[in-house]
Amino acid sequence: MNIRSSKKMIKVIKKVRAMQKLADLLRREGKTIGLVPTMGALHDGHLSLIKKCVKASDVTVLSVFVNRLQFGPKEDFGNYPRQFAMDKKLAADNGVDYIFAPSHEDFYNSDFSSFVDVEGVTKNLCGSARPGHFIGVATAVTKLFTAIKPHKAFFGEKDFQQFVTIKKLVADLNIDVKIYSGKIIREKNGLALSSRNAYLSDDERERALVLYRSLVEAKRLFIAGEKNALKIINNAVNSIESQEIEIDYVKIVDINSLADIKRIGEKALMAIAAKVGKTRLIDNIVLK
C-alpha cells in the first residue's frame, strides 16, 4: 500500500485518537513518519522544514495547532494569524501527506492538569521573559509526539531555545524520535521570516532590519577578535535603541546550556528579542 499522497489527496485529521490509529497503521507498514510542528500561518521557513521532512521520511505530517498554553495572558493568542485554507494548499503543494489540526478541546481535555517542565535550558532568554511559555511548548510537543508517533521531527533554528529545549526533552524522557533543525530563512533584506511579521507596518518592517544588522555586526566583531560578550552586546543595544525599538533582551549565551557567558570561546549564540511597535520579534546568530 502506497501511503504517500498527491496534493489532491492530502487528508486533515482533527481527532487525537484518529491520528494515533493512523500512526499505528503506518508504523506497522514500516513507514517512517516525519513531523513538522507548526501553529499555522505558513511561510518559507516552514516550507523549508517541510521539504527536509518530505525528503527524509516516507510520510510527512504537518501539525497546525495554535497552542494556547504557550501564550501569556497579555500576548497575542486571539490575534495570532490563522489561515488554514492557505496552509492546506501550501502543505499539499509541498508534499505533505497529512495535516493534524485538533481543536483545543480535543487536544486538552476539560480537566487537563499534567504539564512538562524542562528545567535549565528554559530559564534564560525567552524563558525568563515569558514565564510559563516553555512549559506550554514542552507539554504541547510531548502530546504531539504521543498523538503522531513520529520517527523524526523538524524544528526551525529561529527559535533556537525551543530547538534546544525539545532536544533536551527527548533525551531526558527517552522519547524515541530524532530531532532535526532547519536554518533561519530570511527575506532578501535579512529580516527573519515569522508569522508575526504580518503585524508589521512598512515603517516597522524597515526599523526591524536593525535586529539582523546588529547580529551580523556582532559576528564581524567576533571574527575580528573581540571576545568580550558585554562589549558586543552593548554595541548591538545602541544600534537597536537608535531605531526606537523596545529591547526585551540582547544576550550572548553558551550554545548548549543557553546560560549567559562573559567571554566567548570557540562558539556561542547571540540572541535578541525586541518589540517593534507592538510586535515581539526574535532572532539569533551563532558566533563561531
Per-residue pLDDT of the chain (288 residues; tens, 9 = 90+): 344 444 458 999 999 999 999 999 999 999 999 999 999 999 999 999 999 999 999 999 999 999 999 999 989 999 999 999 999 999 999 999 999 999 999 999 999 999 999 999 999 999 999 999 999 999 999 999 999 999 999 999 999 999 999 999 999 999 999 999 999 999 999 999 999 999 999 999 999 999 999 999 999 999 999 999 999 999 999 999 999 999 999 999 999 999 999 999 999 999 999 999 999 999 999 999
Q: Of the listed 46, 104, 133, 151, which one is catalytic?
A: 46
Do 210 and 177 fall within a single domain?
Answer: no
Task: Say how many domains are in the chain.
Answer: 2
Distance CA 122, CA 70 (A): 13
CATH number of the domain at 199, please: 3.30.1300.10
43 is catalytic: no
CATH number of the domain at 48, please: 3.40.50.620
User: Can you give the pLDDT at residue 1?
Assistant: 39
Write the CB contacts of 111 (distance below 8 Å, at least 6 apart in sequence).
none
Distance CA 155, CA 181 (A): 5
Q: Name the region of 132 (left: φ>0; alpha: ψ -120 to 50; beta: rest).
A: left
pLDDT for 250-261, tens place per residue? 999 999 999 999
Write the CB contacts of 22 (distance below 8 Å, at least 6 apart in sequence).
13, 98
Distance CA 73, CA 71 (A): 7
User: Can you give the pLDDT at residue 8?
Assistant: 54
190 falls within a domain: no
pTM: 0.94
187 falls within a domain: no
Q: CA separation (Å) from 120 to 33, 46, 165, 275?
A: 30, 27, 9, 25
User: Can you give the pLDDT at residue 150?
Assistant: 99
Distance CA 77, CA 275 (A): 16
The C-alpha cell at 162 is 525551543
Final residue of a domain: which of 182, 211, 236?
182
1 falls within a domain: no
Q: Which amino acid is at 87?
A: D
- Domain residue limits at 85: 7-182
272 falls within a domain: yes
Do 109 and 206 fall within a single domain?
Answer: no
The C-alpha cell 535549565 sits at 120
User: Can you give the pLDDT at residue 5?
Assistant: 41
Distance CA 226, CA 220 (A): 9
165 falls within a domain: yes
60 falls within a domain: yes
Start-to-end CA span in the chain (Å): 47
**In a 3-state reduction of DSSP, which class is residue 53?**
helix
2 falls within a domain: no
pLDDT for 161-176, tens place per residue? 999 999 999 999 999 9
